[in-house]
Structure 1
Amino acid sequence: MILEVADIRIHPGREAEFDQAIQRGLSTVIARAQGMRGYDVRKCIESPQRYLLQIQWERLEDHTIAFREGPLFQEWRAIVGPFFAAPPTVEHFTVLAQSD
């Protein structure tokens, strides 16, 4: 299992709109992606224009190739992209240790 972590910064004053848009994008686009096993989005308390999106993928290629190079990526970006203040920082992680 691979964890994608996207650090997203949006334009100030658009938080309520983005909250709805990202939820819509997750449920209508990301939910259909090959190898997607779950997701979670968090909103920063101290910096309300900052969000952390975490998506669990079966394999790295499910995100980097199947999703990013396929038609779903364009649908996703059409929904959430207009809110971005800058391109998100995206990194991938594997589990080293975890609690029960």
Structure 2
Amino acid sequence: MIHEIATITIDPARAAGFEAAVAAARPHFEAARGFVSFALERSIESPERYRLVVGWQSVEAHMVDFRGSDGFQAWRELASPFFVGAVAVEHTIRVS
């Protein structure tokens, strides 16, 4: 299993709307081939910054299967109006 970690910056005054949009988008992730887990974390020190942490069976499950799906388009439609700047995405694997 790998983790997709997306660092997202929003206007903190719009946090409730963003969190509701992510909750509405969650079923699109859960329905995706290769989906494992989902978490949204908000920074305490920088409340405008969130980390979306999604577990996938492989990088391909995220980058090919999900990103090529209608679910990805639905996620972007729901969440992207809240984005301030580009979203930084990386993939990690647990090593210990």
In the alignment, structure 1 residue 83 sits paired with structure 2 residue 82 = yes
Is 1:48 matched up with 2:41?
Answer: no
Separation of aligned partners in 1, 2:60 and 2:79: 22
TM-score, normalisation: structure 2 = 0.94
How high is the TM-score relative to the length of structure 1? 0.90
Letter in 2 for 1:11: D
Number of aligned positions between the proteins: 96
Q: What root-mean-square deviation, in Å, do the aligned CA atoms of Structure 1 and Structure 2 show?
A: 1.0
Tell me what 1:93 maps to. 92
CA distance in 1, matches of 2:15, 2:72: 22
Q: C-alpha offsets along residues 7-59 of structure 1, whole Å, 9 cap, x if unaligned?
A: 00012410111111111211x21111110001111011121111011111001
Partner of 2:4: 4
Deviation at 1:72, TM superposition (A): 1.3
Letter in 2 for 1:7: T
**Mind listing any 5+ residue stretches in structure 1 that lack a counterpart?**
none
Q: Partner of 2:71 in structure 1?
A: 72
The equivalent of 1:62 in structure 2 is 61
Which AA in structure 2 matches 1:4?
E
* Superposed structure 1 runs of 4+ greater than 6 Å apart: none
Percent identical among aligned pairs is 36
Q: CA deviation at 1:79?
A: 0.6
Q: Separation in 1 of the partners of 2:13 and 2:63?
A: 31
